[in-house]
Amino acid sequence: MTKGVFGTDGIRGRVGVYPITPEFCLRLGWSIGKVFADQCPDSDPQTSSDGAVKPTVLIGKDTRISGYMFEAALQAGLVSAGADVKLLGPMPTPGIAYLTRTLKGAAGIVISASHNPFGDNGIKFFDASGSKLSDDLEAQIEAALRQAMDCEPSEALGRASRVPDAVGRYVEFCKSSVSQSLDLSGMKLVIDCANGATYQIADKVFAEMGARVETIAASPNGFNINKECGSTHPETLMARVVESGADVGIAFDGDGDRVVMVDRKGRLVDGDQIVYAIAKHRQRQGTLNGGVVGTLMSNLGLQLALQQDTIEFARANVGDRYILEMLKAKNWQLGAEPSGHILTLDLTSTGDAIISALQVLLAMQSAQSDLDELVAGVTKMPQTLVNVVTSNPKEVMQHPAVAQIVAAFAAELGDRGRILVRPSGTEPLLRIMVEGADESEICGVAEQIAVAAKQAAGDS
């Protein structure tokens, strides 16, 4: 069945523009309730007065203002379909995955647009195991969306309740990921919460493990999520780490599934370097269990560094769901995107920024090294990324003029570099990445491709 509203990571868009509207979310909630009533009859069943089994669906959100509206709409739709709802409030995406699994939910719903600005929002889903929905389940939800919406009789309606200890449960889970082996006493951390979903959680985790913690961007007001802060804008954190004499800086994105770090000298440490540090630590401990999966965007420097250390490396398509698919196919545990989406499947079912940061701190403690020393083995190849705004990124990418110039430059670069042109899976952008040894050369190549893409966008 051809997909409609689902993208590579759920449903995302501008608030008030279909499908990110209250009316659609009401229908979406109803459709999910109908599908999971049929698909998951044995997950935390609650029996109504007529003997029917009711699925339980958890809903969590980030801190953007529109989250209240979509939470209410989804809740109403689910309850009208006969599903019970557990409301988690502001909660990182990986926390929602964890609580869906441990509270025996049939499904978990995340209301978030991740690293996007507050005017965007989205809906992501987890199944009972805390994993992303299968294509088959997404297709069934799409089919239900096309049906006429009805309402269960009063005796078969679902119930809604809040989970009062959701934050405490997730904090303890994060701490348990490193058991008793990590002691952060004497370490000073600066943590940037992006005014997002980690604002009431991250400081607790690291402080309760002994660190002295300074938090920034931890005062969400519904409008400031990701605004000049967080993993996409770490400049303030970089400066603050140096000013305060901190050992490490940690920056999350709005929904807490991405992390970048800052070393004691104020230098950015991205997802490629983070996964390298974790892989090296696990190799020393004998717990790596396979290799590392990156993406087409992963820096060539990561690949070369892992090869130098005899650690296997494979590239998946861009997007954490493709990393996850390849990890499962290879029976490996560790994968990452350069943006800081790190997967450690032996610890949790989805990318978890807090748990990933803890893994790096564990590696630092084990090696008795500072962060800059830990990632020194990765020599990053110059890489430039240019975004072209267009409502039709796939069409622009396939435009003959764009395809021709990309092919010409790829042939010219040869083994000296890489070109990747792809539509964003989350925003109306065409992303142009060029990598090579000569920074001025790759910047020029990227700009010329971007010019061609902008002209093609004007033609489309």
Q: 3-class SS at 134?
A: coil
Contact 275/315 with Cβ under 8 angstroms?
A: no
In sign, the C-alpha dihedral spanning 445, 298, 205, 324 is positive
Residue linked to tokens 């969400």: 220
Active-site residue among 66, 114, 131, 349? Answer: 114
Using CA atoms, how far residue 427 sits from 7, 17, 21, 301, 448, in Å, is: 10, 14, 17, 27, 22
Length of the chain: 460
Written as six digits, the tokens of 362 are: 């564990």
Instruction: Take residue 278 and report the two structure tokens written for it.
Output: 């974790």
Give yes or no: 114 in active site: yes
Residue 361's SS3 state is: helix
Q: CA of 274: how far to CAs of 114, 141, 323, 336, 370, in Å?
A: 20, 36, 16, 8, 13
CA distances from 442 to 330, 400, 434 (A): 33, 21, 6
If phi > 0 it is left, if psi is from -120 to 50 it is alpha, else beta; for residue 195 that is left
AA identity, residue 43: S
Among residues 402, 423, 427, 453, the alpha carbon closest in space to that of 317 is found at: 423
CB 435 within 8 Å of CB 379: no
* Terminal C-alpha separation, the chain: 27
Residue 452's closest CA among 406, 389, 383?
A: 406
For 61-73, b/e burial (b = at least 16 CB within 10 A) is bbbbebbebbbbb
Residue 422 neighbours by CB distance under 10 Å: 18
Distance CA 109, CA 83 (A): 13
Query: Which contiguous run of DSSP H or E holds residue 140?
Result: helix 135-145
Q: CB neighbours of 141 closer than 8 A, spacing ≥ 6?
A: 6, 28, 31, 32, 35, 133
**CA angle in degrees (0–180, nearest 5) for 120-126-127:** 155
Alpha carbon distance 285, 65 (integer Å):
44
**Which sequence positions are flagged as catalytic?**
114
